Amino acid sequence: MNSLILAVVGVGMMMAGYLLYSRFLARRVYTLDATFRTPSHELEDGVDYVPTNKFILWGHHFTSVAGAAPIVGPAVAVIWGWLPAFLWVTLGTVFFAGMHDLGALWASVRNRGQSIGSLSARYIGARGSRLFLVVIFLLLLMVNAAFAVVIAGLLVSTPTAVIPTWGALVVAVLIGQAIYRFKWNLPLVSAVGVAALYSLILLGDRVPVVLPETVLGLSPEAFWIIVLFVYAAIASVLPVWVLLQPRDYINGLQLFIGLGLLYGAVLIFRPEVVAPSFNTNVPEGTPGIMPLLFVTVACGAVSGFHGIVSSGTSAKQLDKETDARFVGYFGAVGEGLLALGAIIATTAGFRTLADWEEVYSAFNEGGVAAFVTGGGSILNAGLGIPTSLSATILATMAVLFAATTMDTGVRLQRFVVQEIGDVIGVKLGTVIATVIVLVVCLGLTFSAGADGSGGMIIWPLFGTTNQILAGLTLAILAVMLVRKRRPVLPILIPLVFVLFISVYALIIQLGGFLAEGNWLLLVLDVIILIAAVWVIVESAVALNRARTATPEADDEDERDSVVTGGGSQE
Amino acid sequence: MRERWRAFSAGLHEFYVAPYRRTFARARRDEDDLFRLLVMSEMLGVPNPASYYTAELLPVLYDGFHDWHRRMGMERSPLENYRCC
C-alpha cells in the first residue's frame, strides 16, 4: 500500500464526512439555524462573549484541541497494524468526533454558552456535575503524567531536540515582551519568532545534549521528568502573558507548519507502508486489539476534552449557529488529519518490515519516538531535509504540543485542587495547591518504577477517561434530542459504543494492574470504572425521563436556561 | 492589498489574544475591585488618609458600583448615600 493512497483515502473520507454527514447532522439532527441569536450576540461583553469570524474561531478551536495526544495514540496503536488504526481514526473522526464536537457546540449555544459541567447538571441531574469534576480531575492528572513521560522520552531519544525545546521558552518570553511591553507589530514578531524557533532547531541539530547515564543519582528520563514538572509548576504560576499565551501562539503556528511539511513530504515522496495491515505477529505482552485499540486512540477518533473546549470558549464566540458545523466538525477533521499523519509516519517511515518490527518490539515501545524517526525519514526523502534535522523538527513539534498541554494542565489542576480545598473548608494558596499537584502527578508518574514509566502505562487509562467524558457529552446531546423528538440514533449508537468500550477496557486493565500488583493504578482504574458505571446509570435514567416527558419546543431549553439563570460557570 | 494585509494582521492579533481574553479581563476586574475598595474605604468605615484625594474619584466609579456590590455578594447597595438599585 502506498502512503499517498492512504493519505488521499483518509483525507477523502474525512472531507466527505464534513461535506455530507455534517450537513445531515446540521440540517436534520441539530437543525442549526442561521437566524438564531447566539450567546456571543445576546450576552456580548467583549470578554467571554465575542462574535468571532468562523475561520479565526476554527483556528482557536483547532489549536486548543490539538495536542500531542493525536500523535501519541495512533503511534502506539499501529502495533496492531495500520488498517485498524486507520479505520478507527477516519471513521471515528467522521461518525464520532465530528458529531460530538459539533453537538457540544450546539448544546452550549442553545444554553447561553454554558459549559459541559453545567449542562450535565441540567440534563443528566445534580450528581452529573459532581461526576464531571471527578472525571476532569482524573483526566488532567493523567494528561500531566503521560505527557511528562512523552517529553522526557523524546529528549532522551532525540537529544538534538533539547536546545529547541528549552530555547522555545526563551522565544515565547521574548514574544510576550515584544507584544505587551514594546507593542511591536504582531505579523513581524510572528515571523521573527518562527525564524528564531527554526534557528534553534538548526542549532540543536548541530549540538545534541546527551545526559550522562545518571544525573544526581537519577536516570536521564527521571531527571527530565522532574525538571519538566518543576518547570510546569513555575510556568503555571507566572502571569499568563509572560509565557503561556505566547507559547500557545507559537505552538499554534508550529502546528500548521508541521502539518504542511508532513503532508507535503508524503505528497512528493509517496513512501510505501511497510507495516502490515493487520499485525498477526504482535510482540509478547501486547494487549488484545479489542477493546484496547479504541481507548489507545482517543484524541483523533473521539475525545471528551473537545467538549470542554467547545462549550468552554468556542460556543461563547460563535457568530452564527450555522458556523458550528465548520468550527466544531471541521475542527475534529483537523485533529483527525494530525492522527492520520502520525499513522503514515509510523508505518511508512521505515525502510523494511524488519526495521519497523525492531522499533515496535513491545507495546508502548514505538510510540511517539517512531513518529519522529519515521516522519523524519519521510521529510528527508520528500523535502530533502537532512534526516537528523527532520527528526529534530518533528521531535520539537511533538514536545511543544505536549509541553503546552502540560503547562495548561498543571495550571487547571491547581484550580481544581483549590476548588476541592474550598469544598472541604481549607483555603489553599497558589503555591501550596501547585505543590500538591506536583506531588500527586510525580507520584503517579513514578508509581511503576524509578524510570517514570508509570506515565505511559496509564496512557490507555487516559483514553478511557477521555471517552467517558465524551460519553457524558453524548448523553447530554441524546437527552436534548429525545426531548425534542429529533433523530437520536447518530448520537445513541456512538454513546453506547463509547461507554461499552470504556467499561470493557477498564475491566481488562484492572486484571493487568492486579496481576502486576500496581495498587496505585488499580485504585485509579476502580475510580474510573465507578465513574463509567455512574455515567451509564445516570444517562439511562435521564434518557428514560426524557422519553416519557412531554415533547418540548425547539427553543425550550434556551428559555429554561434563562429562567434558571444559566450562564457560564467556568 | 493594504486592506487584505490589515485584515490578516487583525486576524493574527485575534488569534493571539482571544484564548486568554477572559483571564486578562478577570485580572483587570479584580484590580479595579481592589481600587474601588480603596477609594470607598472611608464610606465603608475604614479610615483612609488619602480620602481627600480619592473622594474626587467617586463619581467616576459610580457606573460600575452596582455590578461591584452584586459581585461582592450584596444584593442591595451597602452605602446609604450611594443608591443604585
Local confidence band at A338 (pLDDT 50, 70, 90 cut-offs): very high
In this structure, the dihedral spanned by the alpha carbons of residues A155, A434, A236 and A258, taken in order and rounded to 10 degrees, is 30
Which residues of chain A make contact with B24, given a CB cutoff of 8 A? 240-241
C-alpha cell at A215: 544525573
Q: Give the 3-state secondary structure of residue A218.
A: strand
Quick one: pLDDT at residue A202?
95
Local confidence band at A127 (pLDDT 50, 70, 90 cut-offs): confident
Amino acid at A204: G
CB contact under 8 A, B11 and A55: yes
At A254-311, the pLDDT tens digits run: 888 988 999 999 999 999 999 999 999 899 889 999 999 999 999 899 999 899 888 8
Rounded Cα distance between A472 and A497, Å, is 13
Quick one: pLDDT at residue A563?
45
Assess B15–A contact: CB distance below 8 Å, yes or no: yes
Quick one: pLDDT at residue B17?
87
Assess B35–A contact: CB distance below 8 Å, yes or no: no
Quick one: pLDDT at residue A558?
59
Assess A46–B contact: CB distance below 8 Å, yes or no: yes
Contact (CB, 8 A) for A86 and A291? no
CB contact under 8 A, B11 and A53: yes
Provide the CA B75 distance to its chain's centre, in angstroms.
Answer: 18
Q: Please choose, from the candidates A314, A305, A316, A321, the residue with its C-alpha nearest in 3D space to the C-alpha of residue A567.
A: A316
Q: What is the DSSP string of A469-499?
A: HHHHHHHHHHHHHHHHT---HHHHHHHHHHH
Contact (CB, 8 A) for A491 and A24? no
Quick one: pLDDT at residue A448?
72
Terminal-residue alpha carbon distance, chain B: 52
Which residues of chain B make contact with A186, given a CB cutoff of 8 A? 9, 12-13, 16
The residues near A449 (Cβ < 8 Å, ≥ 6 apart) are none
Quick one: pLDDT at residue A568?
34
Exposed, middle or buried, B21 (CB in 10 Å: 0-12/13-18/19+)?
Answer: middle
Local confidence band at A565 (pLDDT 50, 70, 90 cut-offs): very low
Q: Name the residue among B15, B21, B26 with its Cβ closest to that of A59.
A: B15
Nearest chain B CA: its distance from A565 CA (Å): 15
Q: What is the mean pLDDT of chain A?
A: 89
CB contact under 8 A, A52 and B18: yes
Quick one: pLDDT at residue A555?
65
* DSSP 8-state assignment for residue A416: H
Could you identify the residue written with the cell 483525507? A11
Interval B8-17 mean pLDDT? 87
Best mutation target, A45, A57, A194, A245, to test chain B (most B CBs within 10 A)? A245
Q: Please choose, from the candidates A432, A447, A364, A469, the residue with its C-alpha nearest in 3D space to the C-alpha of residue A140.
A: A469
Local confidence band at A560 (pLDDT 50, 70, 90 cut-offs): low
Rounded Cα distance between B61 and B55, Å, is 10
pLDDT at A496 over 90: yes
Contact (CB, 8 A) for A393 and A378? no
Contact (CB, 8 A) for A160 and A204? yes
CB contact under 8 A, B12 and A48: no
> What does chain A come to in residues?
570
Interval A69-93 mean pLDDT? 95
CB contact under 8 A, A52 and B24: no
HEC string of B67-81?
A: HHHHHCCCCCCCCCC
Contact (CB, 8 A) for A153 and A369? yes
Which residues of chain B make contact with A317, given a CB cutoff of 8 A? 18
Quick one: pLDDT at residue A569?
32
Amino acid at B82: Y
Q: Name the residue among A50, A187, A317 with its Cβ closest to that of B12.
A: A187
At A380-391, the pLDDT tens digits run: 999 999 989 999
Rounded Cα distance between A85 and A405, Å, is 24
Which residues of chain B make contact with A52, given a CB cutoff of 8 A? 14, 18
At A412-424, the pLDDT tens digits run: 888 878 877 777 7
ipTM of model over 0.85: no
- Cα–Cα distances (Å) from A290 to A101, A177, A462, A494, in that order, read 25, 50, 17, 16
> What does chain B come to in residues?
85
Assess B4–A contact: CB distance below 8 Å, yes or no: no
Q: What is the DSSP string of A8-52?
A: HHHHHHHHHIIIIIHHHIIIIIS---TTS--HHHHT--SSS---B
Rounded Cα distance between B74 and A250, Å, is 43
Provide the CA A323 distance to its chain's centre, in angstroms.
Answer: 22
At A132-191, the pLDDT tens digits run: 777 888 888 888 888 898 899 899 999 999 999 999 999 999 999 999 888 898 999 999
At A230-258, the pLDDT tens digits run: 998 888 888 888 988 898 899 888 888 98
Nearest chain B CA: its distance from A241 CA (Å): 8
Local confidence band at B58 (pLDDT 50, 70, 90 cut-offs): confident
Interval B48-73 mean pLDDT? 83
CB contact under 8 A, B15 and A60: yes
Report percent pLDDT > 70 for chain A. 97
For B27, which residue in chain A has the nearest alpha carbon?
Answer: A239
Q: Name the residue among A52, A186, A317 with its Cβ closest to that of B9.
A: A186
For A53, which residue in chain B has the nearest alpha carbon?
Answer: B11
Rounded Cα distance between A139 and A410, Å, is 11
Local confidence band at A446 (pLDDT 50, 70, 90 cut-offs): confident
Which residues of chain A make contact with B21, given a CB cutoff of 8 A? 47-48, 50
CA angle A229, A232, A238 (to 5 degrees): 145
Contact (CB, 8 A) for A475 and A495? yes
Assess B1–A contact: CB distance below 8 Å, yes or no: no
CB contact under 8 A, B18 and A249: no
In this structure, the dihedral spanned by the alpha carbons of residues A524, A530, A532 and A533, taken in order and rounded to 10 degrees, is 160
